[in-house]
């Protein structure tokens, strides 16, 4: 009897708790029987008001004057009562907005009555909802490192592993690897024994273990986490990359569903330049991370960007293994900013085979060409686009965009490249040309990408291409990225040729760059490298580096500019390497000012109006280079500027203080005089006085 009473009391208590939970849930979500009651009351009230309006309208028109006037008045009185809200309801709802949405909003704020009756339907719905939540939560796996942390293992190997972690944080990598070796050896015997037991259990019931990571023993958890950590230590050390890869592969063998082990595999493969294997491992890990508790797929996306650009620099398209998107030429109407002519065979079409505006492609209800349908399921099937903008909108990370031979354009607006894509022109250079006529750049690149074999012919008051760290309108995009521009030609008739800004990193390789103002301008914290490029023809400087930007010129030619070849100012830094030639400019070859730094190695500065001129607190280092001043002085070091020369030849006049002369007269430096005495250039052209507080020339 006592047991029965206890059971009844327990049942009553559980029902009470469930009712409290339901009330709390209804309070938060604005649902439940009381809200439904209010909504029904509102609907009935609105219906009665409509009936009352119709009766009054008929009465005004004289249609109700007959023998049934008494019955009509009684019916009208009944409708008037139904058209009025109860006083309790009226105090809770806004009478001017007596709609279901308003009632719902008020019901969310209304405190629940403790004596409210809970229906069986609500209890069943709550149970079903909780079951669904449990199912989705259980689908999220707990990672081995979290399981090991929750386990609070007292195994000796785990203590050694934690000491090794501290050593790795302190950058004592070799000692950390030795400690990881010790931790693995301590749990090796237990690990083998546990594996045999697990194999026996799996033979008896293969379906019993649903979560691979959750079924790992304590020794396996220690082993797999230690292997991942040792792999990371070896990667940081850089001396045993194959060992790092072996550890990562062993970790995936123990815990195949753990994304971090796949990430370590991707890092090791990338360190060994096995780009395809690295991309494959990272893609698998990205999918696994989406099914893990507390894991994010962003590290995989970021590292895929890194691997993709490194592979592209080494001639591998491994990071761009997605779909292929063809972009047709706009033909004779390209200069008007129009798209390519429609083609029902390739374009998205409606039920009558008429092309649909591709900007609405993602919202269409299934009317599309057969090629599009195949491309949705088979990445080897090509897509077709009528413009570059459409192609970028259709693209996903890893896709390739091929500009077919002919003239293309940006349809009058900047194409924002926010995906990891490879944009390439078909055929030889200038067979695929982008004829852009606008006052905004052709491309604004804010994500790791590659552009190759494309001719940019830009007309307007903006640069032809801008590589910038920050997405337009998104100040939270702080992840650094790198862009590769290879085999391209940039022409701009109204502003700078190319611009790299913010924290963006860009590599220009085998490119031809010219602009109305500066051919290339780097600002803020940008980092740009020019390799085998020809930079020429600007009305100002060939390369202008300012703020905290960093520039590297390797085996380039900068020539025929109307001002300096290279300007380095503010806190910027420029490195000129590997037989780079600065020549035939109407200003100095190098102009360095403020706190800027410049390094020349194995390069030539020749036949300009001035050689290397440094001002303020700037510094110039010159190694194994040839400097001549052309029509003016070869070297000018003014103020507190600091030269450091070695193994170089200077031809012409050098103007410097006694302190600066010590730096110029370095080891193996030859200063030779010219046949004709040089002088300061006349104050015209680029040397004309400009009273502008925002420019360098004062």
In this prediction, residue 219 carries a pLDDT of 84
- The pLDDT > 90 percentage for the chain reads 50
11 pLDDT higher than 60 = no
Q: How far apart are the first and last CA of the chain?
A: 103
In this prediction, residue 279 carries a pLDDT of 94
Taking the whole predicted model, whether its pTM rises above 0.85 is answered as: no
Q: Which residue has the higher pLDDT, 377 or 127?
A: 127
Distances, alpha carbon 343 to alpha carbons 347, 355, 356, 369, 399, in Å: 6, 7, 11, 10, 22
100 pLDDT higher than 50 = no
The torsion defined by the Cα of 239, 242, 248 and 253, in degrees rounded to 10, comes to: -150
pLDDT tens string 377-436? 455 667 888 889 989 988 999 999 999 999 998 788 899 999 999 999 999 999 999 999
In this prediction, residue 99 carries a pLDDT of 42
Residue 669's nearest CA partner among 613, 630, 607, 627 is: 627
CB atoms within 10 A of CB 18: 15
Residue 465's nearest CA partner among 520, 527, 503, 418 is: 520
268 pLDDT higher than 60 = yes
Residue 667 contacts residue 690 (beta carbons within 8 Å): no
In degrees rounded to 5, what are phi and psi of residue 259?
Answer: -70, -35
pLDDT tens string 349-369? 555 555 554 443 443 334 444
pLDDT band at residue 12 using 50, 70 and 90 as cut-offs: very low
Distances, alpha carbon 315 to alpha carbons 251, 388, 400, 421, in Å: 31, 24, 15, 15
Among 70-84, 318-332, 546-560, 582-596, the least confident range: 70-84
Bridge partners of 530?
A: 508, 553
Beta-sheet pairing, 498-501 with 649-651: unpaired
**Mean residue pLDDT across the chain:** 79
Burial (CB count <10 Å: 0-12, 13-18, 19+), residue 570: middle
The span from the CA of 465 to the CA of 473, in Å, is: 18
In this prediction, residue 46 carries a pLDDT of 67
Distances, alpha carbon 649 to alpha carbons 611, 652, 668, in Å: 12, 10, 9
Q: The dihedral of CA 51, 52, 53, 59: what is its sign?
A: positive
Q: For the chain, give the longest Cα–Cα distance.
A: 129
In degrees rounded to 5, what are phi and psi of residue 78?
Answer: -65, -40
Most confident of 11-25, 109-123, 147-161, 371-385: 147-161
Q: The dihedral of CA 111, 114, 120, 125: what is its sign?
A: positive
DSSP 686: G
For the chain, the helix, strand and coil percentages under 3-state DSSP, each to the nearest 5: 40, 20, 40
In this prediction, residue 505 carries a pLDDT of 93
pLDDT tens string 35-57? 566 666 666 766 776 776 676 76
Beta-sheet pairing, 489-492 with 455-459: parallel
CATH class of domain segment(s) 144-200+211-313: mainly alpha
Residue 570's nearest CA partner among 624, 627, 526 is: 526
Q: To which H or E segment does residue 145 belong? A: helix 144-151
The span from the CA of 600 to the CA of 63, in Å, is: 102
The span from the CA of 573 to the CA of 582, in Å, is: 17
- The pLDDT > 70 percentage for the chain reads 68
In degrees rounded to 5, what are phi and psi of residue 65?
Answer: -85, 95
Residue 414's nearest CA partner among 383, 445, 391, 373 is: 445
In this prediction, residue 493 carries a pLDDT of 92
Residue 143's nearest CA partner among 354, 347, 296, 321 is: 296
pLDDT tens string 561-604? 999 999 999 999 999 998 999 999 999 999 999 999 999 999 99
DSSP string, 72-114: HHHHHHHHHHHTSPPHHHHHHS-GGG-SHHHHHHHHHHSPPPT
Q: The dihedral of CA 207, 211, 214, 216: what is its sign?
A: positive
Q: What is residue 163's three-state secondary structure? A: helix
In degrees rounded to 5, what are phi and psi of residue 635?
Answer: -130, 135
Residue 347 contacts residue 369 (beta carbons within 8 Å): yes
In this prediction, residue 382 carries a pLDDT of 72
Residue 472 contacts residue 444 (beta carbons within 8 Å): yes
Domain ranges of the chain: 2-61+72-111+119-138, 144-200+211-313
In sequence order, what are the residues at sequence separation of 6 or more whose Cβ sits closer than 8 angstroms to the Cβ of residue 282? 262, 263, 266, 300, 303, 304, 307
Q: What is residue 6's three-state secondary structure? A: helix
Distances, alpha carbon 168 to alpha carbons 158, 162, 234, 238, 474, in Å: 15, 10, 10, 14, 36
Q: What is residue 630's three-state secondary structure? A: strand
Among 67-76, 503-512, 520-529, the least confident range: 67-76
The span from the CA of 224 to the CA of 250, in Å, is: 8
Beta-sheet pairing, 520-522 with 543-545: parallel
In this prediction, residue 261 carries a pLDDT of 94
In this prediction, residue 643 carries a pLDDT of 95
pLDDT tens string 155-200? 888 899 999 999 999 999 999 999 999 999 888 766 666 667 767 7
Among 58-62, 140-144, 199-203, 323-327, the least confident range: 58-62
pLDDT tens string 626-673? 999 998 999 999 878 999 999 999 999 999 988 889 899 999 999 998
Beta-sheet pairing, 649-651 with 626-628: parallel
Find the mean pLDDT for residues 437-443.
91
Find the mean pLDDT for residues 194-208.
63
pLDDT tens string 660-697? 898 999 999 999 987 777 788 877 767 776 665 555 44
Find the mean pLDDT for residues 494-509.
94
């Amino acid at each position: 009897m006592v047991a029965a009473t206890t059971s009844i009391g327990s049942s009553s208590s559980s029902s009470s708790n469930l009712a409290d939970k339901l009330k709390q849930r209804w309070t938060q979500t604005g649902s439940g029987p009381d809200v439904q009651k209010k909504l029904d009351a509102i609907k009935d009230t609105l219906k009665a008001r409509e009936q009352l309006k119709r009766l009054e309208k008929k009465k005004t028109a004289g249609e109700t004057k007959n023998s049934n006037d008494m019955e009509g008045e009684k019916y009208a009185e009944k409708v008037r009562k139904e058209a009025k809200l109860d006083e309790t309801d009226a105090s809770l709802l806004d009478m001017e907005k007596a709609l279901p949405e308003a009632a719902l909003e008020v019901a969310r704020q209304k405190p629940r009555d403790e004596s409210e009756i809970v229906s069986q339907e609500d209890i069943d719905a709550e149970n079903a909802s909780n079951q669904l939540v449990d199912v989705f939560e259980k689908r999220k796996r707990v990672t081995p490192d979290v399981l090991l942390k929750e386990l609070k293992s007292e195994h000796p190997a785990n203590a050694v592993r934690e000491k090794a972690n501290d050593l790795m944080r302190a950058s004592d990598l070799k000692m950390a690897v030795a400690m990881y070796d010790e931790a693995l050896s301590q749990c090796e015997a237990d690990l083998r024994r546990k594996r045999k037991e697990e194999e026996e259990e799996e033979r008896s019931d293969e379906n019993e273990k649903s979560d691979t990571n959750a079924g790992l023993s304590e020794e396996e958890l220690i082993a797999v986490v230690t292997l991942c950590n040792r792999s990371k230590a070896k990667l940081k050390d850089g001396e045993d990359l194959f060992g790092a890869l072996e550890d990562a592969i062993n970790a995936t063998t123990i815990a195949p569903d753990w994304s971090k082990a796949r990430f370590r595999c991707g890092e090791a493969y990338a360190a060994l330049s096995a780009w395809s294997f690295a991309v494959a491992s990272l893609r698998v890990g990205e999918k696994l991370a989406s099914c893990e508790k507390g894991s994010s797929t962003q590290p995989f996306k970021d590292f895929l960007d890194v691997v993709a650009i490194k592979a592209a620099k080494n001639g591998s398209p491994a990071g761009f293994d997605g779909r292929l998107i063809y972009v047709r030429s706009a033909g004779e109407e390209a200069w008007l900013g129009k798209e390519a002519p429609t083609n029902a065979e390739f374009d998205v079409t409606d039920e009558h085979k008429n092309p649909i505006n591709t900007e609405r492609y993602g919202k269409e209800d299934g009317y599309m060409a057969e090629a599009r349908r195949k491309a949705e399921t088979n990445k080897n099937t090509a897509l077709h686009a009528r413009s570059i903008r459409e192609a970028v909108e259709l693209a996903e990370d890893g896709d390739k965009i091929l500009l077919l031979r002919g003239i293309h354009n940006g349809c009058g607006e900047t194409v924002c490249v926010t995906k990891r894509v490879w944009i390439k022109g078909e055929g030889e250079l200038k067979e695929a040309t982008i004829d852009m006529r606008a006052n905004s750049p052709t491309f604004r690149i804010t994500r790791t990408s590659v552009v190759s074999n494309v001719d940019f012919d830009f007309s307007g008051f903006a640069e032809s291409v801008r590589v910038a760290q920050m997405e337009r309108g998104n100040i939270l995009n702080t992840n650094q990225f790198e862009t590769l521009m290879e085999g391209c030609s940039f022409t701009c008739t109204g502003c700078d040729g190319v611009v790299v800004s913010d924290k963006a990193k860009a590599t220009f390789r085998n490119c031809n760059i010219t602009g109305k103002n500066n051919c290339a301008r780097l600002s803020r914290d940008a980092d740009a490298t020019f390799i085998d490029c020809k930079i020429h023809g600007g009305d100002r400087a060939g390369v202008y580096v300012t703020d905290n930007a960093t520039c590297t010129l390797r085996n380039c030619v900068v020539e025929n500019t109307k001002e300096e070849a290279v300007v380095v100012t503010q806190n910027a830094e420029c490195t000129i390497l590997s037989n780079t030639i600065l020549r035939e400019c109407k200003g100095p070859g190098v102009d360095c000012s403020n706190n800027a730094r410049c390094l020349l190695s194995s390069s030539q500065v020749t036949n300009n109006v001035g050689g290397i001129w440094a001002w303020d607190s700037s510094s110039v280092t010159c190694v194994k280079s040839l400097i001549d001043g052309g029509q003016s002085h070869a070297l000018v070091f003014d103020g507190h500027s600091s030269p450091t020369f070695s193994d170089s030849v200077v031809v012409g006049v050098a103007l410097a203080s006694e302190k600066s002369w010590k730096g110029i007269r370095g080891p193996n430096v030859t200063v030779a005089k010219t046949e004709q005495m040089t002088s300061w250039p006349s104050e015209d052209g680029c040397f004309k006085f400009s009273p502008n507080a925002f420019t360098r020339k004062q």
